[in-house]
Chain A
């Protein structure tokens, strides 16, 4: 008994504890933790101070938003609210608790002296508005508030009077200042909660080969989501050059998005050089996030961007301009040595420098007796302060001098389109003159190996006629007739034979049909009646009636008693009048056959009645074969 009571008490305690725990947990999650403060709480009239509100919730919840502050008379709002995302980690009893939320600041100016109460401030969370406590602020008349001692003012550390004409007072730091928001990154509304991406290009119209800079920003509000997977924005119609190295960590900036302050980080900066004209697309960048402020793995992506690429203008396009050579370039060169023996080689080093997509090759001046071999190239590129690709490409040519004398190598020219000047320009460098001394040994003008057509066949010296071409089969109508004629002929013949056989079968069936037999018997009866052969007419009429009945309803009436005949016929769908008439005609047939005094008129009447009856009998859907 005692044990049972003890058990009940333990169960009740456990249930009570569970309810308390659940209710406390539910309460803990049912409202955010909100703190408010005025910094400082003692101000003079006309002084601006900060009213700060901090609202934190569990890391698994969405942070609060939409802060609001109501000010009493005597205070004027000078700025704010500025919303800063917050993340807090605390360890209580060995358990780590993480919370997210916002810290909101308003700049408030005191206008009336006295002891005032400000607030409450409030935030919106999960559809409900939660308020902070009220905050006391003491507003003193102007000049009555003791000056706060600056602990870092070495000149005032002992309360000494200030040096006349000395350093002016530094402004008092009332509140750790928020970083200034970047208006260029501001947005009217966030694209998603907690974290989103935004991509932009610095221009949407450009010419073929002109640099377009793509930037992708990551906006974060509250929490600390981390990237778990990222897919770069596809841009197959562009030559791409990343402007951020993996080691680069651009500074975090802040921007106002929908009235709140978001952290903004530049995560991609890519120089794009269009490879074709038309409307080209930069695809979306996809990033999956996880972590504080997000319930699960959350995908985010940028929107696709379009860039309209046009050809450079045709007007003024210099000869030798190659599509895509857009930028601002310069050429310089060095030739060593400038004196060489015939057949010897010199080195021509051409340095191409400038801003833009550096051309991959140069057109060298072709001169008689000067053979340019393929160059080796060396590149060095970096990025200007305004994110332009800048660099230099050094081409080193080996040039064979095959003819003696003072050989003017000419100049290397690079026509390009300058998008900043909207005009074509030509970078040029003169290579100068090389003095080639004659060689005693003959110099081959070009190595044999360079003749890439040496294996071409010999000259043909006879004007041979073109080989006769056989007429193609498909050009002959007979081919197509023959192609279809064989199978079609067989099929047509088969069909004709089938039709012939069917016709013959139908004729044969008609000949063998009961109705035909009945008609034949009836005709014989008529002929016998006409001849006056009464018995013969009656016999033929009886046969015609039996066959006609069988043809009409399938009844073999020879095996049926005459008294039962009318009933049997009615049971097979023959009308009563016709059934009775059939029975009567059979009786008359018997009488005529065996009555010696019967005359031809009775036989004729019988045959007529029989003919009418056979015509009136219903026709079966399908005639039955006599043999059946």
Chain B
């Protein structure tokens, strides 16, 4: 009897604790955020970075938190207390904002400034500019958002359907309209449907990341140097797979392995 009572008490305590944790979670996130904001405003950049990083570790997807995290890293750079990789981490934070809200002009401007600073520093060290030319498939798919390709494919499907129906009409204006609409709809569908599918495939299989070390070397699968140009800090790359301490990345048309610690996967894409 006593044993039963003890088990029931333990279960009740667990439920109460779980409810308390669930209730306290949002409040802790808000507290952490305000703590980070206050630290940043007070010039305590390290504490601000810690607070915003803790928020990111909790999976907080607020664009404000990500943006302020980028500002905290930039503040360390501006305050002459920069640590290696701060520019890359700032760029990663701003990129996360853009993943959540692609129309955030402030984040877009900030990430441009960070990359310009990285390029300037590389030029000062007489390191050549690394040109990342995206491959043709990425260029074509990137011409419009995935949703646009999807709607275009849907409209093309409707046009094709209408054309096929109108072709059954007796000869006349409707039949003529069907003759015109059928090939147009068919060609458009053959173009837009693969684009929509490929955009979906890339979204689901390729994960964006940002280089957070001064240079991410391009290695082979065994970790040996390949002789290819390293990827500069703050560059956005694609993450494909991980094997041990190495991750396979794609930068422009160049693919290779690099150290997992040298790149930061953007949270909004998880």
Q: Which residues of A contact B (CB under 8 A)?
A: 276-278, 309, 311, 360-361, 374, 451-453, 455-457, 459-467, 469-470, 472-475, 479, 482-484, 486-487, 489-491, 494
Contacts and interface: CB of A to CB of B under 8 A. Distances in A.
B78 interface: yes
A170 to B, nearest CB: 61
B71 A483 contact: no
Counting chain B CB atoms within 10 Å of each CB, which of A278, A457, A482 scores highest?
A457
A494 to B, nearest CB: 7
B61 interface: yes
A453 B150 contact: no
A79 to B, nearest CB: 52
Contacts of B164: 487, 490-491, 494
Contacts of B62: 463-466
Interface in B217-254: 225-228
Given A453-B77, A483-B193, A459 B161 contact: no
A474 B157 contact: no
B256 to A, nearest CB: 13
Given A467-B100, A479-B154, A474 B116 contact: no
Given A472-B147, A475-B200, A487-B164, A460 B225 contact: no
B78 A453 contact: yes
Contacts of B161: 486-487, 489-490
Interface string B43-82: 0000000000000000011111101100100100110000
Interface stretch (B4-12, B106-114, B134-142, B169-177): B106-114
Chain A residues touching B, majority SS: loop
A370 to B, nearest CB: 12
Q: Give the most central of B78, B124, B146: most A CB within 10 Å.
A: B78
A270 to B, nearest CB: 21
A130 B62 CA distance: 98
B199 A474 contact: yes
9 contacts: A452-B113, A463-B65, A466-B61, A467-B100, A483-B153, A486-B161, A487-B185, A487-B189, A490-B165
Contacts of A494: 164, 168
Interface in B101-138: 101, 106-107, 109-110, 113, 116-117, 120, 124-126
A473 B71 contact: no
A463 B64 contact: yes
B68 A460 contact: yes
Given A472-B147, A494-B168, 17 more contacts: A361-B126, A452-B120, A453-B110, A453-B117, A456-B109, A459-B71, A461-B37, A463-B62, A464-B64, A466-B61, A472-B200, A472-B203, A473-B151, A487-B185, A487-B186, A487-B189, A490-B164
Contacts of B30: 463
Contacts, number: 118
B258 interface: no
Nearest to A322: B125
A347 B62 CA distance: 50
Interface of B: 29-30, 33-34, 37, 40-41, 60-65, 67-68, 71, 74, 77-78, 100-101, 106-107, 109-110, 113, 116-117, 120, 124-126, 146-147, 150-151, 153-154, 157-158, 160-161, 164-165, 168, 185-186, 189, 193, 196-197, 199-200, 203, 225-228, 268
Contacts of A467: 63, 100-101
Contacts of B226: 278
Nearest to A374: B124
Nearest to B193: A483
A359 to B, nearest CB: 8
A453 B75 CA distance: 9
A277 B226 CA distance: 7
Nearest to B145: A472
A455 B64 contact: no
Nearest to B62: A463
A451 B117 CA distance: 10
A452 B68 contact: no
A456 B110 contact: yes
Contacts of B41: 459
B160 A486 contact: yes
Contact of A483 (B101, B124, B126, B157): B157
B210 to A, nearest CB: 17
A5 B108 CA distance: 108
Nearest to B116: A452
Contact of B150 (A360, A479, A487, A490): A479
A472 B146 contact: yes
Nearest to A274: B227
Contact of A487 (B157, B203, B227): B157
Contacts of A451: 78
A529 B83 CA distance: 116
Given A361-B125, A473-B151, A484 B117 contact: no
A508 B157 CA distance: 38
A557 to B, nearest CB: 44
The 7 A-B residue pairs with the shortest CB-CB distance in the complex, in nearest-first order: A486-B161, A457-B106, A360-B126, A473-B150, A460-B64, A490-B164, A474-B200
A483 B151 CA distance: 10
A436 to B, nearest CB: 18
Contacts of A483: 153-154, 157, 189, 193
A486 B146 contact: no
Contacts of B110: 453, 456-457
Nearest to A279: B227
A486 B33 CA distance: 50
B67 A460 contact: yes
Contact of A456 (B71, B120, B189): B71
A461 B39 CA distance: 12
A474 B30 CA distance: 34
Contacts of A472: 146-147, 150, 200, 203
A451 B158 CA distance: 55
A276 B226 CA distance: 9
Contacts of B33: 463
A466 B63 contact: yes
B117 A452 contact: yes
A460 B150 CA distance: 34
Nearest to A462: B64
B40 A361 contact: no
B172 to A, nearest CB: 19
B101 to A, nearest CB: 6
A360 B160 CA distance: 63
A466 to B, nearest CB: 4
Nearest to A461: B37
A70 B57 CA distance: 96
Nearest to B161: A486
Contacts of B101: 466-467
A361 B100 CA distance: 41
A474 to B, nearest CB: 4
Contacts of A486: 157-158, 160-161
